[in-house]
Amino acid sequence: MKLEGLSILGQARVKPAGKPNAAINPATGAVIGPDYFWSTTADVDAAAELAAEAFVEFSRWHGKRREGFLKRIAELLEANAAAIVERANQETGLPVARMQGELARTCFQMRQYGEAAASGLCAGARIDHADPNRKPLPKPDLRSMMLPLGPVVVFSASNFPLAYSVAGGDTASAFAAGCPVIVKPHQGHLGTSEIIGLLVQQAARECQAPAGIFSMLYGAGRDVGIALVKHPLVKAVGFTGSRSGGRALMDAAASRPEPIPVYAEMGSINPVFFLSGVMNQKPEELAAGLHGSVTLGVGQFCTNPGLIFVERGSGAKVFLQKLESLIAATAPGTMLTADLCAAYRAGVEKFSQASGVKRLALASADLGPGKAQGGAALFATDAETFLKNHHLMDEVFGPSTLVVQCSSREQILEAAKRLEGQLTATLHGLPEELDANRELLEILATKAGRLVFNGFPTGVEVAHAMTHGGPYPATSDGRSTSVGTRAVDRFLRPVSYQNFPDAALPDELKDSNPLKLARLLNGKLILP
């Protein structure tokens, strides 16, 4: 597969224009060819118009046909796994084993969302039959299902070059919904994006999809990205990244004459609470588990535990000593980009200078030739300082965490109440401690999309029941998730058909159920 550094416009490639940009190896600082050319406003218009044209046909595809398209993308990704993994490793510094696992997850997502479309799970068909004899007024025949919104813009995530990028979860769920996709790739993995984009283009061609079902436009977020969000033919946005980036897209979408939804996952500090009973039983074991979670992937996960609450005591003292020694001995790691590493180091320095905060450990890390080596950091403060300083909830994206030492259960509850919205909240305790801490659990359920018991938040299982979302600012809409089959719902809207003749109804709502879907019939779930 020849890489040309050009954007993808349906089944065509965009002609090069403007100043070329380069992919960089963060470990070595070396430039990786070819040159990449940013898209223009004309390209944005063309991609949006193609997507709108494609939507007319693609929105009519039954779930089974959408499943075939998603399955073919997965097959092509697997057939080209070696090239994808090699390029992703070069552009991100992420280990080969991590890239192989992430590619497997990407393909699993494609198939899972395809199966959800084929089974009727996405359609959500509901039928309420008429009752002409109902008093005082007759009951009409009502049937409803979920229909796709229209063209969706997807922004690739920096920390997931495969699973939440060009053919990642947002793209897969939009396709499963019946929405064409325009991807704005991340500048940190240009070549990886091109390889995968060409494979999605190939799958679309082989499945005889309309040309505009997929496009991919290189460019800066403030230019190409904002232009895509503001384009009147675009109907929804999927984003994974920083709070500032997500807010910019939310504001742009809200300022349109026709506002559109932006489903932005904007990061989280994922608080972990340790109850005294379990802490006194196995403090060193808990410290080792937390250390592994904090430093996993050089801390570059949106579920990295960046805030820890412990109640003072002998167990907590041993825990903190062990955690300090582990953090100090942690080998530095290559971060995704030099800019991200610089931001991480600035965050560490800010916490190091914060009043009332003590830096307990900072693993030494020379910047290295790629200027992207990050060292783990551990900070500690007391509950009084934490409660008085909102900035201590700022995310430091990388392998660092802050331990808040509380003097009482009341302080722990007060700290939990002050938390912003989170992707996850974790509680470690003995089973018999849960009943006495029910109030804490109830508070955390209002703060996070996923509650974890006696585990660590890093690692997001791709399953029907998974929620990867949470109240603002973890996401722009805490009612949604970007993982699990509910992710497809973001790009659908409900439509009811009242008193239509059977022949005029969509197949999903006809009495004969020709697609053999599970449906809600007069309030009861009926399986095919």
414 noted as active-site residue: no
Q: Is 231 strand, coil or helix?
A: coil
**Which of the following is catalytic: 102, 194, 265, 508?**
265
CB atoms within 10 A of CB 388: 10
Query: What does the block give as tokens for 371?
Result: 């200027």
List the 214-216 sheet strands across, edge first. 12-13, 8-9, 214-216, 181-184, 152-155, 236-240, 262-265
What are the distances in angstroms from CA 492 to CA 66, 124, 178, 236? Answer: 15, 10, 9, 10
- Residue ranges of the alpha helices (H) in 165-313? 169-177, 190-206, 226-230, 243-254, 276-281, 283-295
Query: What is 138-153 written as a DSSP string?
Result: PBPPEEEEEEE-S-EE
CA dihedral 266, 269, 275, 279 (to 10 degrees): 130
* Active site annotation includes 302: yes
- How many Cβ atoms from other residues are within 10 Å of residue 172's Cβ? 29
Listed in sequence order, the residues at least 6 apart from 285 whose beta carbon sits closer than 8 Å to its beta carbon are none
Chain position carrying tokens 């990704």: 77
DSSP β-ladder status, 181-184 and 152-155: parallel
CA Rg, the chain, in Å?
25
CA–CA separation, 304 and 115 (whole Å): 30
- Count other C-beta atoms under 10 Å from residue 390's C-beta: 10
Q: How far is CA 38 from the centre of its chain?
A: 25
| SS3 assignment for 84-128 | HHHHHHHHHCCCHHHHHHHHHHHHHHHHHHHHHHHHCCCCCCEEE
Dist. CA 250–CA 155, nearest whole Å: 13
Residue 372 CA to residue 171 CA, distance in Å, equals 29
Reduce the DSSP state of residue 349 to 3 states and report it: helix
Catalytic residue among 107, 122, 179, 302: 302
**Alpha helices, H only, 425-524:** 438-447
Strands 272-274 and 307-311: parallel
Catalytic residue ranges:
265, 302
